[in-house]
Amino acid sequence: MAGILNGIRVLDLSRMLSGPYCTMMLADHGAEVIKIEGPGGDTSRANGPFRADDPAREWAGYYVSLNRSKKSVVLDLKTDGGKAAFRSLASTADVIVENFRPGVMERLDLSYESLAEAHPRLVYAAIRGFGDPRSGQSPYADWPSYDVVAQAMGGLIGLTGPDAQTPTKTGPGIGDVFAGMMMAFGILAAMRVAEATGQGQFIDVAMYDAMISLCERAVYQYDFDGSVPGPEGNGHPLLAPFGIFPARDGQVALGIVGDAFWRSLTQIMGCPALGRDPRFVSRAARRAHAAEVNALVADWTATRTKAELTGILGGVVPFGPVNTVADIFADPHVAARSMISTVPHADSRARPWRVAANPLRFSTHPAPAPATPARLGEHTAHFTAPKAPGTSADPRALRDAFGAFATGVTVLTTRQADGTPRGFTANSFTSVSLDPPLLLISLAKTAHSCDTFMEAEAFAVNVLAEDQKAISGLFASRAPDKFDRCGWRPGARDMPLIDGALAQFACARERLVDAGDHILLIGRVLEYATAEANPLGYFRGNYFSIGLENSLVEVVAAGGGVRVGAVLTMETQLLLCVGTDGALSVPTALGKTPSLEGLRAALQAQGLQPEIEFLYAVCEERDTGLHRIYYHGQVAGPVPDGMILVPLDAAPWERIPCAAERSMLERYAEEFRYGAFGVYRGNETTGTVRRVTGT
């Protein structure tokens, strides 16, 4: 299953620990992380340790742990070709992460500003020892920094150790790891803004700053009481008993904060009187007598093994044994929580690697299984190959293809992971961009195939023609043999394209966006085709088509008692006929059997170029029983004798003698202000707006 960050592309220029830890967090949950390495590769590839079955020393544990599930592209950013390839990749990325010293990317002519100019949505993340000048010029900005430097300057080492004379670095590289974790949060926060506004930004975190944040307690202590906290050993300056206590075969941790826990501990120790002793009865009293409290507890724990103490204290008071990594591997909690991940070896015959798993758990988006870390440059050819033909479409041709339908009915198609074609009918589809060519479809989360489309790397949109109502119904069902009952062919990325469709678009998935009870799926057009036909439409539960409306009009007109006219506009003016008495009316078809084609011919004969768009109104004169059918459209050309253009916002409605026509045009003028049109059916005083539908 795809992880929660599926669809996010990250270019990772970072090295060693801080940046790779950050991008590991993202890759573990499905982001596509592409390591950009120089010809020599990430220095962590040579850091070790190496297994005995790796005589070539190809797979360092340091590298494997931090770089699982990532891809590798080798680029020499000091060359013009390398820079050009990087810029090309950056234009497709959501995020760039680097942990160089300030100015390195600027000297390579690859600054954030230059990349964002071409790609405004880009989120650029920089982890530095002392921050980036963009957010605050540190006097140490150009100093190199590693974990131990950040721990020392940020106060962590000054708080750690047995006493003030023995400051001690913490075991893990927390100066790197914590900065990487903070940056992972920053990236996702900035991406939320970028997805909503299209505007990326530059983010930086200083390792020094991250350590100050981690040591927040020392900051407020200094501010509140002027104290300068120092190493407290394994104890706590404010609480007792709280810290590490000896066991017969190791050590255990106790964290007694509340008075109730203290009383529970004294009961287990067999000394309930200590729970009532005024020297120890409250948190403040125990703090004042911390040395005595800690000694009493230490003397008791030292007589028992870790297992014995676990049996009597576990679940009763805040307690835990001090585990070695061997203990961790054997702990049932670790197995139950799957906190040791298995990473497949590049050689399928070799034993898989085991690494610390990502601790984040999402209820509906479990992290995907870790993938084998990449060999140096393993994916270079894939990501630097020339773009496939067809991804760069002529904007005018593509605009015509996007506009090949009005309110269209579409069949969305894709393939499951096993290659089985899947598809269903949808009515929400729109073009998004011509450069790059993007379109958007809206998927109901309740749709039967929604999960399949969310996980698919490609899909196709098939806009149905007016004679494909049966196809729409077929794909609206859950029939298992849909593709056996209709004609189709494979298109780009092997996507199913429905035969006879008005327009077909094969797309690569670009992005998924959550939108309430729907998912917006944005695709990049890889291939498209159009055909000459009328679209099949869908409105309020009914299908309609321009062809069907035309046929209806022709049948009614053949029966007599019908006038066919057109509401024609030229920009903001309405074209009307002028009678000899000065009365106004819309242009109408001539002859005994008026028709849409007759209307077009009459207008063209007078030198006009009409574009009839859709049926607009059907009106009935109650007194005469005469039906009036009106189309809507645009008109161009010089205004002929016997016609005038009147402004829609100041038309002389009183000069229109036909009440039904006058009522219809007044409604049209009101709609014109807002650009919303419906089909009107009624008479000169009352009526409804609806579509003419077919069965």
On the question of a cis peptide bond just before residue 241, with omega within 30 degrees of 0, the verdict is yes
Structure tokens at 176: 């790197």
The residue written with tokens 């196709």 in the block is: 460
Model-level pTM? 0.68
Cα–Cα distance, 174 to 207 (Å, whole number): 10
Cα–Cα distance, 265 to 272 (Å, whole number): 8
| Catalytic residue (one of 12, 176, 204, 209) | 176
Helices (H), 154-289: 174-197, 207-214, 216-225, 259-269, 272-276, 283-288
> pLDDT tens digit string along 509-529?
988 887 777 888 899 999 999
What is the model's pLDDT at position 255? 96
The strand pairing partners of 511, in sequence order, are 522
Cα–Cα distance, 125 to 183 (Å, whole number): 7
What is the model's pLDDT at position 427? 67
Structure tokens at 443: 């998927």
Structure tokens at 31: 């982001």
Q: Which residues of the chain have pLDDT under 70?
A: 1, 387-394, 396, 398-407, 427-428, 537-560, 613-614, 620, 622, 625, 671, 673-695
- Listed in sequence order, the residues at least 6 apart from 277 whose beta carbon sits closer than 8 Å to its beta carbon are none
177, 193 contact by CB (below 8 A)? no
For domain 242-322, give the CATH superfamily.
formyl-coa transferase, domain 3 (3.30.1540.10)
For domain 9-147+171-209, give the CATH superfamily.
Crotonobetainyl-coa:carnitine coa-transferase; domain 1 (3.40.50.10540)
What is the model's pLDDT at position 538? 62
Domain range 395-538, its CATH number among 1.10.3660.10, 3.40.50.150, 3.40.50.2020, 2.30.110.10: 2.30.110.10
Q: Is 456 exposed, middle or buried (0-12, 13-18, 19+ CB in 10 A)?
A: buried
CA 385, 389, 395, 398 dihedral sign is negative
Structure tokens at 230: 């120092």
Among candidates 174, 274, 272, which has minimal Cα distance to 214? 174
3-class SS at 420? coil
566, 629 contact by CB (below 8 A)? no
What is the model's pLDDT at position 659? 84
> pLDDT tens digit string along 43-77?
999 999 999 999 999 999 999 999 999 999 999 99
587, 599 contact by CB (below 8 A)? yes
3-class SS at 57? coil
Among candidates 41, 47, 33, 51, which has minimal Cα distance to 370? 33
Indicate the domain borders of the chain.
9-147+171-209, 242-322, 395-538, 542-689
Second CATH level (architecture) for the domain 542-689: Alpha-Beta Complex (3.90)
What is the model's pLDDT at position 683? 43
CA 236, 242, 248, 250 dihedral sign is negative
Q: Is 176 a catalytic residue?
A: yes
